[in-house]
Amino acid sequence: MSIQTNEEHQKGVAFRSGLFASTFGMGEIAYVMGLLHDRGKEQKEWQKYIRGITGYDKEYAHVKQGPNHAYVGASIAQKQYPQLAPLIAQPIAGHHRGLYDYCDYIEETKGVIPEDVSLDEPVPCALPKLSNLRKQDLHHVVRMLFSCLVDADSLDAEAFMNSEQSELRGCHTSVEKLLWKLEEHLQILRAQSANSEVNHIRNYVQEQCVKASKGEVGFYSLTVPTGGGKTLASVLWALHHAVKNNLQRIIIAIPYTSIIVQTAATLKGLFGEENVLEHHSNVNPEDIDNWELRERMQLATENWDYPIIVTTNVQFFESLFSNKRSDCRKLHNIIKSVVILDEVQTLPLGFFKPIVHSLDTLERVFGTSILFTTASQPILSGRIEGSNPMAGFDALPNVHEIIPINAQLHDKLRRVKLEFMEGAKSYDEIANEVSEHPRVLCIVNTRKDAKELYDRLPDDGIRLHLSRMMCPAHVSDTIQRIKEALKDKGDKPIRVIATQLIEAGVDIDFPVVFRQEAGLDSILQAAGRCNREGKRGICVTYVFSLGKEHPLPCGFISQTNNARLNMGKDFDWFSPEAMKSYFRQLHSRTASFDTAQMQEMLYKPECEFEEAANHFHLIDDQTTSVIINWRGSMNIYQQLMSQGPSYPLMKKMAQYSVSIRKRDFQLLKEAGAIEEPFENIYAITNPNFYKEDTGLTLNNQWLEETFII
């Protein structure tokens, strides 16, 4: 049996950790962290445990647990490096269980350094010269050092314990070669494209991206209307910019899984699946046939050591505010990278301040360039003013817009006009209006409104419903049916009622769109599904109110709608000026841009890492996921019942699950409709509760009969 001594491991971790942190000027600190992190394993009792658990010494096989060791290295760091203790000791103390809240960290490191642990002479380590650090930066600096340590720890252990797996990491294509591939593809695309106004605009956008990519590391914005080729243009800018500034990878964060899947598929087709990591909850690694590629991608989800990463806003930002080892391990690979934030207007205003400050830290302290891309650019620089003086904060210092304002792309790509219907309408009135059009999409704000309107449509031609009462597999199937139906040149009616899930990232094209009243950004997203290809001249998107029967609920949706209404009517709704006015109105209605009070927990030396992580959730998910009975879902469910929960099976089951509100969950549970085969895994196996057209139903004869009994 080969042996790695504790000293060898600590030196290996020190080397890797120091190398990672040298990218932001803290290599010496991270090197010391590596040397000290496992010093507590020198304890005789811990050595007995490790010898017994590994089978190296059967005399100690009965020792099932070793003493706490993480606090020892942290205590030594406090003793030997008092000025650097917050930077060195906190990551060491939490390198297994996660970063502590400050008081818990102090309590944890009060323990006496065991006598059987050596106290070597401290390695020289100086406080780095970081004159531009601000109070909101410190928690990110500690997290980055923590990231360097835990990734180095895992990689060194893997290299010794599983060398074959370790060798699967790295060896990726350089950004220079990826840029060459993209340039070659675009050259072919231009040669094959028609000589149209839209293609001229797409070429212009790409030219401006190449021109702007020569700038220094900083903040950039690409504001391009629907149809302007924003996705490829943003990646073209990112690769050129990375090559020019010696940046290591491209990270694309997107709010919607529909856009992620579409974007990742495009990029994999361009650069090869071996260069694009798709990291979100709907990805099932088992779908990848090639064993080696599947293993590489699974390993890369741990630390994002890949040339291009496509992920969610939730994954990206919640990792930046996490205290957990598994979440933070990848953070150091964001350093000196290019981050593309797509549909940036969707960032939640309740977390706007800590998000903007974290982006500022990434750029200013860690040398990361940020590109904001959208057709509806929010206000990101200067002073952000809320509904009271205490809410305001200074955002980013300067964001460079790639497309000159005089280009007027919104005008050149104009293909839709908005018409605002007068007065509050009923379900019947809107259903009648929609039914007058043979090919029409109607988008509403809630699942209830979608079901009510769908039930009122005439059952002629193709009538389809889309909402999150349908499982992801059902949604994907329905979207595909819509696309196929729209290709049919016949006169069969195609009418679709949907919630907002269809507004972004779904490449469909209707001649007429109806949109329930909402914020201007949502209305413009809906308009992007109307005359998308621009082949019908100017088409119409109608904006309506359902106020007669279902007024907008209080909360964010009403806040956004009121912001739009207060703008007046004399606007070119698609212009950048309209978006600025809208977001100023929206900000002026916002009481706090830091509702979870991240500033109070993190903008100080005594950081509350765990408390902050527990409160930083971009999506306030008050729902419960339930497996449903649709098509082949019960076959997978039977595998789950016989084999027990596993990662691959739960990934497959996620495609046949619906998230429902707590009160609806309780209603179904009391009726006996919900099974719980394993702890916190729920299912509705009765097919009467899931309809082929509208998905999970809460109102049916079976449920009523249950209550009668």
Element (H, E) at 497: strand 494-498
Alpha helix (H) residue ranges in 226-277: 230-245, 257-271
Upper half-sphere CA count for residue 147 (Cβ side, 13 Å): 29
Helix (H, G, I), strand (E, B) or coil at 308: strand
How many Å apart are CA 471 and CA 447, to the nearest integer?
13
Looking at this protein, which amino acid is placed at residue 102?
Y
Asked if residue 4 lies in contact with residue 166, where contact means CB atoms within 8 angstroms, the answer is no
Give the model's pLDDT for residue 130: 67
What residues pair up with 608 in beta bridges, in sequence order?
101
CB atoms within 10 A of CB 273: 18
CA distance readout (Å), 464 to 433, 441, 475, 480: 16, 10, 11, 11
CA 333, CA 138: separation in Å to the nearest integer?
A: 18
Q: Is 383 helix (H, G, I), strand (E, B) or coil?
A: strand
Q: Read off the pLDDT of residues 420-460 as tens digits, 9 standing for 90 and up.
A: 999 999 999 999 999 999 999 999 999 999 999 999 999 88
Q: Three-state DSSP class for 484?
A: helix
Closest residue by Cα to residue 46 from 85, 96, 82, 105? 96
- What are 42's two structure tokens? 């020198």
Give the three-class secondary structure for 442: strand
How many Cα atoms occupy the beta-carbon half-sphere of 201 within 13 Å? Answer: 20
Domain spanning 415-571 has what CATH number?
3.40.50.300
Structure letter (DSSP) for residue 177: H
In which residue ranges of the chain is CATH 3.40.50.300 found?
175-407, 415-571
Backbone φ and ψ for 609, nearest 5 degrees, come out as -65, -45
Half-sphere exposure of 105 (CA within 13 A, CB side): 28
If you write DSSP's letter for every residue of 51-80 in order, what string do you get?
HHHTTS-GGGTT---PPP-HHHHHHHHHHH
Which CATH code of 3.40.50.2000, 3.40.920.10, 3.40.50.300, 1.10.10.10 fits the domain covering 175-407? Answer: 3.40.50.300
Are the C-beta atoms of residues 599 and 607 closer than 8 Å to each other? no
- DSSP assignment letter at 445: S
Strand blocks (E) in 519-602: 539-545
Q: How far is the CA of 257 from the CAs of 303, 314, 515, 526, in angstroms?
A: 21, 11, 22, 17
The span from the CA of 64 to the CA of 553, in Å, is 56
Strand order in the sheet with 308-312: 276-279, 308-312, 250-254, 338-342, 369-374, 219-223, 399-401
Decide: residue 249, CB within 10 A, 0-12 exposed, 13-18 middle, 19+ buried: buried
Two tokens at 528?
A: 């992007």
Q: How far apart are CA 70 and CA 95, in angstroms?
A: 7
Q: How far apart are CA 681 and CA 2, in angstroms?
A: 42
Predicted pLDDT of residue 3: 73
Q: How far apart are CA 298 and CA 306, in angstroms?
A: 11
Helix (H, G, I), strand (E, B) or coil at 626: strand
- Tokens for 223, please give them: 């504001």
* Exposed/middle/buried for residue 288 (C-beta within 10 Å: 0-12, 13-18, 19+): middle
In angstroms, the CA 685 to CA 554 distance is 35
> What pTM was computed for the model?
0.91
Report helix, strand or coil for 431: helix
Tokens 């089951």 -> residue:
653
The tokens describing 232, both together, are 């490829």
Q: Do 697 and 639 touch, CB atoms closer than 8 A?
A: no
Which parts of the chain register pLDDT below 70? Answer: 1-2, 45-67, 130-131, 166, 168, 171, 281-289, 291-292, 294, 297, 504-505, 699-709
Structure token pair of residue 304 = 């994002």
Torsion of CA 57, 63, 64, 67, to 10 degrees: -110
Nearest CA to 73 out of 13, 23, 19 is that of 13
Rg of the chain in Å (alpha carbons): 28
If we measure between CA atoms, which residue out of 415, 407, 384 comes closest to residue 524? Answer: 415
Dihedral angle at the C-alpha atoms of 287, 319, 521, 579, nearest 10 degrees?
-140
SS3 (DSSP) at 692 = coil
- Helices assigned H by DSSP within 193-330: 197-212, 230-245, 257-271, 291-303, 313-320, 325-328
Structure tokens at 250: 């491209």
Measured distance CA(622)–CA(189) in Å, rounded: 46
User: How far is Cα 354 from Cα 596, in angstroms, rounded to an integer?
Assistant: 10
Q: Give pLDDT, residue 326.
A: 93
3-state SS, residue 394: strand
Cross-strand bridge partners of residue 400? 220
CA distance 300 to 380: 31
Neighbours of 622 (CB within 10 A): 9
In whole angstroms, what is the distance from residue 41 CA to residue 44 CA? 8
